[in-house]
Amino acid sequence: MKVENIQSLKKILSDKGYKLTKARENTFSALLSPEPQSMATLIEKSQNKVDRVTMYRNIDLFEKLGIVNRIYVGWKYKLELSDNFMDHHHHLSCLSCGKVIDIEDEQHINEFIKSVTDKFSFTPRHHQFEIDGFCIVCSASKKK
């Protein structure tokens, strides 16, 4: 469900009976970024182009259409354009200082996902694997 440009966005929308509007084009533009972004950031980037409420509604729609992923980092969620068939985020998150460490390694994971989704006839869009705990620094220190 990767969106390459405005035309492919239009196709995805119209296939489901939705319209391509200026607000949706701008929503899409705001999403272009190498990093996942918070809702607040998207809203700010689109100041006086897209209304706050419309932004919420379109992000919801995009998510249902598989155009964007909502991922959790620490306590908050962020948004990003879907990229490949299966986007993913694997990280370690420190409960104390909030540091986030990204991890790679997919092999085991991919088999696991396939076996599970097949079992429920579930169509995966993206996945997220988070381990919460304490980083090497915070494991040692006493308070805070």
Partner DNA sequence: CCCCTTATTGCAACAAAGTTGCAATAAAAA
Partner DNA sequence: TTTTTATTGCAACTTTGTTGCAATAAGGGG
Binding site for DNA (CB under 7 A): 10, 13-14, 17-24, 38-40, 49-54, 56-58, 60, 77
Amino acid present at 85: F
Q: Does 134 sit near a copy of itself (CB under 8 A)?
A: yes
CB of 109 to a copy of itself, least distance (A): 7
Tokens in use for 81? 């354009």
Q: Which is nearer to a copy of itself, 29 or 117 (CB)?
A: 117
Q: Which does 33 bind (CB under 5 to 8 A by kind): a copy of itself, DNA, none?
A: none
Q: Of these, 34, 47, 84, 105, which contacts a copy of itself (CB under 8 A)? A: 105
Q: How far apart are CA 69 and CA 17, in angstroms?
A: 21
Taking alpha carbons only, the member of 77, 87, 74, 78 closest to residue 1 is 87
DSSP lists the bridge partners of residue 101 as 92
